[in-house]
Structure 1
Amino acid sequence: MTAPADATVTWGVLLLGALLVSMGGLTLARSAATASAARRRTRAAAAVRTDLLDRLNRDEPAWDEWVATLDRTERTALEERLLAFFRRLSGGDRERLRALARELDLDERAERALRGGTRTERLRGLTWLAYLDVEVDPEELRARCGDHPTTRAAAARVLHEREHPAAAEVGTDLLLGAGEPLPVLGIDTLYQLHKLDPERLVDYAASRYGAWSESLLIQVLDVLAECDPVPSPVSLDWVADCLDASSPRIREAALRALADYGWRADVRRAANVGVLTRDPAPNVRIAAYRLLGEWEPEIAASRLADGLATDADARARLAAAEALYGAREVREDGRRGAERPAIPAGVEAWAWVVATEGGRS
């Protein structure tokens, strides 16, 4: 009875060994194929880039003849390189690249993706529509891209890149209408739409900010802080109201948004910044000290000096000293630039901070 059992075990071991060898062979073959494909893609990308640059410098690039010679790997490499060039080039070079894009059917493919693709496909199509010479309909973008923050941001970016007359109006509503936090592309697009004239953004936010989440409101305030100031008739009362928000992050963001408005008496009246130098949140006090330094360092010297002497947070004391000194960037030797004369008390304050904080470190 022992012999048949031993034979069974032996055959089982042999079969297991054969299976392991087969699996090892398949793994090696797959690895070799993957490495070969990667080398092929690398060679194709290098060759395509060289040919593309060469043809861009020709009077007649003969895009149609070139495209007809490319295999699938080379076409994929060309599309990736073309998108990179679109982002870097402008003027006549971009127009020549659009002719190449038409030979690759990228315009038609982008429109098909927008109208019937998955979210990933629509995003890819929107990326191309931002650069191709294809008519874009703002209302179609709104209808087909309103289901997700990433597609809304991409659609707004298309309108901005194409310099569409409705870019600011429709783009702002695409980005902010749903009341959801913005992706990175959305934040940058909101800034690009309003950086030179944020009046539309200010008016839009004034009637809606109360319904926004903390994250979205802070994003809008941070964008507003980077934009050029709006003229005096435009009300910023809603930003000043944010100084009373229960969230310290909102209060801090509102202070940053008002930094460039010290010249407006109505803003100075509406924003009781002095109260915020006693805010329980250190980051809010830091922002308040910095804002006072931007607006009125001479008039606010007593408040800043009080913060310097009594604030329990080391970073806040440093911010108060910098604001009192009259500049954000102070040299180690105590000298400063000539853009604003130093307040005598501030020079002494800075020396005190250097000595005190240096001794604590």
Structure 2
Amino acid sequence: MNISTTVFVGIIASGLFIVFIVLSLLAIGFSVWKRREDTIKARSRDTVRQKLFEQQERANPEWTQWVDSLSATERENLIAVLDRYLRVVEGEQRETFLDVAAALGLGERSDAALEQSAVVPRLRALATLAMLDYPISVDRLFETCSDTQRTREAAGRLLYERRDEYENAARLGSELILWDGNHPMTIYGLETLAELNTGTETPLLYQAMDSISVWKESVVIQVCFVLEHTEQIDPDAPIGWLFPLLEHESSTVRTAAVRAFKQQGWRDTVRNRLDLRSLITDNAPNVRQATYEVLTYWGDEQAREYLEWATITEADERCQLVAIRGLLALETPREGFSDQIGLRKAWHWVEAEIAVSDRQRIRTSPDTNLEQLP
């Protein structure tokens, strides 16, 4: 390597070192600036919060005049304070915060933001409107929020949060979230759909009855997932559309359909129609495993008998373990099962799992004396 090359490499190395130092200083400077800004914001919010509570103590708070006396920065901080409290406070205190929100014009501002084409401002507006009592019609929601999956889900959440104010809130919210059945739902949408359909009415079952044939497979699976985790007490809700899914060519769909019956064990008409023997002998292990888990959840004598049969006939070791876990969960005596050569190892394995789980639970209990543990 000649001298010129050495000098060139040295210059490059020095330049890189200088760049590194500059970037490090910029990062440190930005961090310090950001911390300072956060501290200022926190102090400002604390100040506004204190002023809010002081104003509340007055016989006549006159919220409109008080809000007008605040600076623009103080108003923004007040909005942040209200956003936090309106999510958790109820009763008379909540009514007070709603009065402050009305004085700030939050409802009008959020309603106007629904006209924007950008998604994020509309999502923020819907989140705010979900906390307020500002009147907004169902037609308005459908007109301004039906163009994207995220805004439809946010509108569905608004209908759920303010369900006492709307007739057929569960049905309308479910329609918004599912829409044409061609757009997979987010976790947020799935959670909202489940909450809309838990309780005395389950409009999702009626929607599926009418539209299951045109929904995308991924949406069908998601709907089954929601039904698996939704308490359903309507004895007349249509469930017939689920049965053909048990014969679907996709084992993933069949598995989801099996799990969707989890909350239907109390309906004798469903139990009598469900071909459990076919499900236990399905050629897909994930379908059989889902069946064992549903039987365990049902937990009656018939379910126990099917699980006992499955532990003997099951060829897949993992599925067999699931069936045995079910029997143990139902407090089935192991006599006659663990003595069989094919079951002994699996049965002991599950018992060991339970023992380890119990030991870990004891160790994490706040009432446990750790010195007495083995």
| TM-score computed with the length of structure 2 as normaliser | 0.76
CA contact (8 A) 1:243 1:271 kept: no
* Correspondence for 1:191: 194
1:92 alignment partner in structure 2 = 92
| AA at the equivalent of 1:268 | R
Q: In the alignment, residue 219 of structure 1 is paired with which amino acid?
A: Q
Structure-2 separation of matches of 1:168 and 1:121: 25
Letter aligned with residue 87 of structure 2? R
Contact 2:201 2:234 in 1 (8 A): no
Correspondence list, 1:132-211, <5 A? 132-163=132-163, 164-179=166-181, 180-211=183-214
Alpha-carbon distance in structure 2 between the residues aligned to 1:218 and 1:113? 34
TM-score, length basis structure 1:
0.78
Report what 2:250 is aligned to: 247
Say if 1:101 and 1:117 are closer, same or farther in 2 by CA, change over 3 A: farther
Q: Which runs of 4+ in 1 moved over 6 A?
A: 28-31, 346-351, 358-361
Counterpart-to-counterpart distance in 2, 1:61 and 1:355? 70
CA distance in 1, matches of 2:137, 2:176: 13
Cα deviation 1:29-66 (Å, max 9, x = unaligned): 76665443232112223333444455556654443454
- Ranges in structure 2 where 5+ consecutive residues have no aligned partner: 1-14, 357-374
- Give deviations 1:149-177, integer Å, cap 9, x for gaps: 11001111222222211312321211112
Q: Report the secondary structure of 1:111's partner residue.
A: helix
Name the residue aligned to 2:322.
319
Matches of 2:264 and 2:335, distance apart in 1 = 25
Q: 1:93 to 1:246 in 2, by over 3 A?
A: farther
Q: Please state how far the C-alpha of 1:316 moved relative to its aligned partner.
A: 1.6
Kept after mapping to 2: 8 A contact 1:289/1:319: yes
Spell out, residue by residue over 1:123-168, the C-alpha distance to the aligned partner (whole angstroms, 9 max, x if none).
Answer: 1111111122221111121111011111001111222222211312
How many Å separate the matches in 2 of 1:109 and 1:271?
53
Instruction: Tell me the distance in 2 between the aligned counterparts of 1:112 and 1:317.
Output: 58
1:282 lines up with 2:285 in the alignment:
yes
Question: Is 1:264 aligned with 2:257?
Answer: no
Question: Which residue of structure 1 aligns with residue 295 of structure 2?
Answer: 292
Q: Which moved more, 1:77-86 or 1:150-159?
A: 77-86
* Structure 1 counterpart of 2:88, one-letter code: R
Contact 2:279–2:291 (Cα < 8 Å) also in 1: yes
The Cα shift of 1:217 comes to 1.4
Deviation, 1:205, is 0.7
What is the letter of the counterpart of residue 346 of structure 2?
A: V
The match for 2:348 is 355
What is the identity, as a one-letter code, of the residue corresponding to 1:353? A
* % same residue: 31
1:80 matched residue in structure 2: 80
Q: For residue 129 of structure 1, what is the amino acid of its counterpart? A: L
1:238-263 deviations in Å (ceiling 9; x for gaps): 11222112222222222222123234
Query: For residues 199 and 129 of structure 2, what CA distance do their matches in structure 1 show?
Result: 24
Distance, in Å, in 2 between the alignment partners of 1:31 and 1:144 is: 39
Asked if 1:308 is matched to 2:311, the reply is yes
Displacement of 1:270 = 2.8
2: CA distance, partners of 1:320 / 1:243? 20
> 1:174 and 1:140 mapped to 2: Cα distance?
13
Q: Give per-residue Cα distances to partners, 1:272-307, cap 9 Å, x unaligned.
A: 122122233332211111233444754455643343
Matching residue's letter, 1:288: T
> Number of aligned pairs?
330
Counterpart position of 1:116: 116
Give deviations 1:301-357, integer Å, cap 9, x for gaps.
564334324534443212211333452xxxxxxxx5xxxx76865687897634256
Give the RMSD, CA atoms, in angstroms. Answer: 3.5
**Range moving further from structure 2, 135-144 or 227-236:** 227-236
Change over 3 Å in CA distance of 1:300–1:67 after alignment to 2: closer
Bigger mean CA offset, 51-60 vs 194-203: 51-60
Aligned partners of 2:324 and 2:350 also within 8 Å: no
